[in-house]
Amino acid sequence: MAVCPLYRHTRREEMVARGKLALFAADLERPAGEPLPTFHRHAIDHCLLCHSCEANCPKGVKITDLVIAAREEIAREAGLPPGKRLFFALLGGKIPGLARMLKFGALFQGLAWRRIPQSSGLRRRLPFPLTDDHTVIPRLPRRQLADFLRARKPADSGPPVIFFPGCAISYLFPEIGRATIRVLERLGFTVLVPKFVCCGTAARAAGDRNTADNLQHQNHELLAALPLGAPVITACATCGHALMRYDLGGRRAVDISVFLMEHRARLETLLAGRTLDLDVTCHDPCHLRKGQGVIREPRELLDLITGNRFRDLAHPELCCGSGGTFGVTHRELSRTIQAEKIAEITATGATVAASGCPGCLIQLREGLTNAGTAITAEHPVVLLDRLLG
Amino acid sequence: MPDITAITAELHAAGIDADRVITDRTAMTCYGYDATRQSRPPLLVVLPQSTVEVAAALKTAAAHRLPVFTRGAGSGMSGGTIPTGAGMVLSLTMMTRVLELDLENFMVTVEPGIITKELQEAVAAHGLWYPPDPASLAFSTLGGNVAENAGGPCAVKYGVTGEYVRGLEVVLADGTVITTGNKCVKSVSGYDLTRLFVGSEGTLGVITKILLRLLPPPAARRTQLLAFADMGTAAETITAMFRRRLVPATIEFLDHHSIAAIRQELPFALPPAARALLLVEIDGEPETVDRDAERLRELVAPTAIAVITAADERERDTLWQARRALSPAIARIAPHKLNEDIAVPRASIPAIIARIDAIAAEVELPIVCFGHAGDGNIHVNVMLDKTDPGQAERGERAVAEIFRATVGLGGTLSGEHGIGNTKSAFLPLEWDAPTIATMRAVKLALDPENRLNPGKIFPPDFHDHIS
């Protein structure tokens, strides 16, 4: 209750874990065949799956698993909305050509969306569904991560590491993937990037378990062919969190910030005292801080990059309100949460807000753009790559 | 049977939107519980956003003769918010505004749904301090704090919620809005109605605005953890501190059961022989804080087996987190607990601790004690398995015995949780018949139909008598 971002802004008991548990208990009494009341549907729908309640639960109740199970139940009863169905069919590879479609989109996005000066985002020209005049979406890159991977000559002398880029980095933010690979190679690692598919979180969160399990299975098969001792590195908090439920064959999954801090001495040698001349703050992605328990390392990394000019937020643990598709389906509430986050970022006086999650970056960039500030939002590894030159 | 359709129509007509009136039977389950694990769904739930809406809801309830149960975050420990009958729950959680921050007079006016910690942060941003610190401050609401007159660790030096409440806006049972108190430090015109409503547990009216006094925050503080080989020595140390005129902001104590429950979470190792801990915080100007911390070290040197000083804010936070996590942590000792929050005059702490030890031996159940020893307020947890009839009976006997011992020492049934419906049967143990009759006269003068939070505070026969 103290930590639920939705409760913070709605003050309604059905938003918090305790209320949802009471509703689930009441549901068990519901006669078979009687449809779920709208109130319950609404309550189950209203969860960012941010794990804040779980991270603070003294009894270790897995509330997000229960919410996901409830969503699976609803999806089974009523089916998924058509938009989500199409989206997961694309992610799950049932409809081929997601990468090509997005590339095609990159060519023509200028017709419907206009660029925003001093931002890497786009605003709509036409009244698209699910958007409004304040919606800022990332510009689709013409060159996706796959194009970069094809062009690169992988080093093959150092110890191997596996990079799991995930959809957002592959298709929307290839620069994060590129930076991750370059930094790891500079540290002397051989970076293996097999053709992983989506980690499955988006489908799982919506209650589409089949698609999620299927994706996980495909990734398991790709992993089977890779060296056993190599850690699986993620630069997307959500993918990293999803990998926690994977069978990695004894390998460990590790966020890039943690991995870099484990190799801090070598990184310091590489940097040779160079720093970026800027003040930086950090928004903790829920799937990193609460999902993976990573809090210290991104701060240490940012301090290293800027020469101890990291400034913490007043409430770094608060969700940014993105919550995957929550920001699209519950725009008003998501924007309220976003506004609070942006105000805290502005109050730090930093010029860059770092965050290790593409979803958070989209949400932060939209908020920062709408607030009219010059503060930018970046992935920490992109800052590091820029510093390394 | 009340006409739900007519009631909701009246509420909508008064401007309360449909999504703030809940009538779905199962949906209401999440507005019918609190921290006592009791749960009873009401007839309907209303989430007002203003005094006008609260007044409209109370008028509607009056017209339909509905009982009204006011609630905040539902973190109460005595069942104060549990709907004891088919009535209207008023959840004030959406009334969260800071209405005025008066920096000249050190006063703030807030709505009752603001969370205690949010209020503290809001005034801290302007260099002011709201001291009361109930363990639930990260989620409990100020309205609930005032209604139960909640306290916290810093009560030793700074007192409880009621000592900061200077005025209220209250909606009475028939929907009339009244105002009490003002910003004057000295104010003696008429009855002190503010004091009457503080701690009235929602039985006299619905609080819709709260005027609070604030303090400048202390410049420095020092947090020390003192370990002792036995509880008696720890208890004696507390009285010795005051005898030396040493007044810390807080003195929390933990018995050996509590220590076992949180040992893992402490940032440093404790001596294995430690069977009692005191968490002492001294605050004030940097010079006096250092001097007092030194005096404390000298005082406990002969008796304590370890003295640990928190090196920085982070260590202090960890200590406090461990202390706040105690209540859930001890749940591992037994499936159920009967938890009471008795208080005795602080000079009687050694006596009550000794008596509770004896009671635990008599009933053969673990009794975990921790809490705010500096102000004599002790959380007594009788740990048991309620499904075992023998344990259940012995547990009830232990609680009755503890209450008797407490009252015998000039103590009280509840230091900060309130009576609610969990302790109402014991009220005559503490107050004689004429005193309870006086309370009853006040209650009936303001709520003649006994519709405001019925079933609370007064012993069960009172409510039978009314209905």
pLDDT (average), residues A126-141: 79
First to last CA, chain B: 16
Tokens standing for residue B266: 């402490």
What's residue B331's pLDDT? 82
Q: How many CB pairs under 8 A join A and B?
A: 58
* CATH code for residues B220-328: 3.30.70.2190
The boundaries of every CATH 3.30.43.10 domain in chain B are 4-91
Check CB contact under 8 Å for A14 and B24. no
pLDDT, one tens digit per residue, over B88-144 is 999 999 999 999 999 999 999 999 999 999 999 999 999 999 999 998 999 999 999
Tell me the shortest Cα–Cα distance from A291 to chain B, in angstroms: 20
A204, exposed or middle or buried, with CB in 10 Å at 0-12, 13-18, 19+? Answer: buried
Q: What is the mean pLDDT of residues A108-123?
A: 73
Task: With a cut of 90, say whether residue A128 has pLDDT above it.
Answer: no
**Which residue positions in chain B have pLDDT lower than 70?**
267, 463-467
Question: CB-based contact (8 Å) between B74 and chain A?
Answer: yes
pLDDT tens-digit series, residues B350-375: 899 999 999 999 999 999 999 888 89
Q: Categorize the per-residue pLDDT at A119 as very low, low, confident or very high, splitting at 50, 70 and 90.
A: low
Interchain contact A25–B (C-beta under 8 A): yes
Q: What is the DSSP string of A39-81?
A: HHHHHHH------HHHHH-TT---HHHHHHHHHHHHHHHH---
Is B30's CB within 8 Å of A2's CB? Answer: no
Domain B98-213 = CATH 3.30.465.10: yes
**For domain B4-91, which architecture applies?**
2-Layer Sandwich (3.30)
Give the pLDDT of residue B366. 94
Residue of A11, A21, A24, A333 best to disrupt the B interface, most CBs of B under 10 A: A11
Please say if the pLDDT value at position A117 is more than 70: no
- List beta partners, residue B101: B108
Stronger pLDDT, B168 or A318, i.e. the higher one: B168
Which residues, other chains included, contact B302 with Cβ-Cβ below 8 Å and sequence gap of 6+? none
CATH 3.30.465.10 residue ranges of chain B are 98-213
CATH architecture of B334-408: 2-Layer Sandwich (3.30)
* Per-window interface: B 45-64 vs A, CB < 8 A: 47
Residue A5 C-beta-side C-alpha neighbours within 13 Å: 28
Nearest-angstrom CA–CA distance, A355 and A298: 8
- pLDDT of B467 reads 46
Compute CA distances B100 → B132, B140, B144, B209, whole Å.
19, 21, 20, 11
| Distant-in-sequence, close-in-space partners of B26: CB < 8 Å, separation ≥ 6 | A23, A26, A27, A29, A30, A37, A40, B41
Delimit the CATH 3.30.70.2740 region(s) of chain B. 334-408
Q: What is the reported pTM? A: 0.89
User: Can you give the pLDDT at residue A290?
Assistant: 92
